Structure 1
Amino acid sequence: MTDPSSPADHIRCPVTGYTLPSDGTPLQPSPFFAERRQDGRVHPLRYADGHVGKLVTDHALARAVLSDQRFSQLPRRFPLGPADPAPPSVTADDLRALASGDLLILDGAKHDRIRKTIRSRFTVKAARGHRETIRAIAAEQVDILLAQPKPADLTEHVAEPISARVHAHVLGIPAERVQDYIQHYVHGSSAQATVDFVREIVGYRRTEPGDNVISDLVDSGLTDDEVVGLAAVLMSSGRDSVAYTIATTTVALLTHPEQRQRLTDNPSVAPAVIEEFMRYSTMFVALFPRTATEDLEIDGVRFQAGDSVSVSPVSANRDAERFPEPERFDLGRDAFGHLAFGFGPHGCAGQQLARVEITEAIGALFSRVPSLALVDAEQLRPLPFAHVVPTYRAGAVVVDW
Structure 2
Amino acid sequence: MTIPAQCPFHARSLPGDGTPLSPSPQLAQWREEGALVPLDFQDGHEGLVATHYEAAIAVLQDPRFSMRPGRMPVGPGHAAHEGGAESAAVPLEAAGELDESGRRSDDLNLLNLDGEEHSKLRRAVTGRFSVRQARGREPWIRAMIAEQIAQLRAKGPVVDLWRDYAMPISARTHCHVIGIPDHHYPRFVELFVEESTAQQKYDFIRALLEERRETPGEDVITDLLDNPDLDRVEIEGLLRLLMGAGRDSVAYLIATASVALLTDPAQLAILRDDPEEIRAAVEEFMRVGAMFVTLFARTATEDVVVEGIPVAAGTSVAVSPVAANRDPGRWERPEEFDVTRDAFGHLGFGYGIHGCIGQQVARVEIREAITALLEAFPALTLVDAEQLTPQPFAHPVAVYEAGTVSVRLDGRG
Task: From 200, 207, 227, give the equivalent of 1:193.
Answer: 200
Please say if 1:334 is aligned against 2:342: yes
| Cα-to-partner distance string for 1:330-350 (whole Å, 9 max, x where unaligned) | 011110110011101111111
Distance 2:365 2:87 in 1: 33
Partner of 1:376 in structure 2?
A: 384
3-state SS in 2 of match to 1:268: helix
Distance 2:156 2:145 in 1: 19
Deviation (angstroms), 1:150: 3.0
Distance 1:85 1:210 in 2: 39
Task: From 100, 113, 133, give the equivalent of 2:140.
Answer: 133
Distance 1:210 1:19 in 2: 47
Deviation (angstroms), 1:191: 2.2
| Cα-to-partner distance string for 1:296-338 (whole Å, 9 max, x where unaligned) | 1133121111001100000000111111111111011110110
Runs of 4+ in 1 over 2 A off after TM superposition: 80-83, 85-89, 268-271
Deviation (angstroms), 1:86: 6.5
Please say if 1:32 is aligned against 2:32: no
Give 2:178's aligned amino acid.
L
Give 1:276's aligned amino acid.
E
> Does structure 1 retain, via aligned residues, the 8 Å contact 2:35–2:307?
no
Please say if 1:358 is aligned against 2:366: yes
Partner of 1:315 in structure 2?
A: 323
Distance 2:251 2:278 in 1: 20
> Does structure 1 retain, via aligned residues, the 8 Å contact 2:43–2:86?
no
Describe how 1:50-65 pairs up with structure 2 within 5 A. 50-65=44-59
Distance 2:153 2:336 in 1: 31
Partner of 2:92 in structure 1?
A: none
Gapped regions of structure 2 (runs ≥ 5): 1-7, 89-94
3-state SS in 1 of match to 2:401: coil
Distance 1:26 1:287 in 2: 15
Task: From 118, 121, 130, give the equivalent of 1:123.
Answer: 130
Distance 1:314 1:303 in 2: 22
Give 2:115's aligned amino acid.
G
Deviation (angstroms), 1:170: 0.4
Gapped regions of structure 1 (runs ≥ 5): 1-12
Please say if 1:216 is aligned against 2:223: yes
Task: From 179, 201, 204, give the equivalent of 1:172.
Answer: 179
Distance 1:354 1:302 in 2: 36
Partner of 1:14 in structure 2?
A: 9
- Percent of aligned pairs sharing the same letter: 49
Give TM-score, length-normalised by structure 2. Answer: 0.91
Partner of 1:76 in structure 2?
A: 70
Describe how 1:154-169 pairs up with structure 2 within 5 A. 154-169=161-176
Query: CA 1:269/1:133 → structure 2, altered by over 3 Å: closer, same or farther?
Result: farther
> Does structure 1 retain, via aligned residues, the 8 Å contact 2:54–2:307?
no
Please say if 1:245 is aligned against 2:253: yes
Which stretch of the first structure deviates more once superposed, 90-99 or 259-268?
90-99
Partner of 2:306 in structure 1?
A: 298
Deviation (angstroms), 1:269: 4.5
Partner of 1:274 in structure 2?
A: 282
Deviation (angstroms), 1:37: 1.0
| Cα-to-partner distance string for 1:208-228 (whole Å, 9 max, x where unaligned) | 211100110111120110000
Deviation (angstroms), 1:184: 1.1
Deviation (angstroms), 1:59: 0.4
Partner of 1:9 in structure 2?
A: none
3-state SS in 1 of match to 2:110: coil
Aligned length: 387
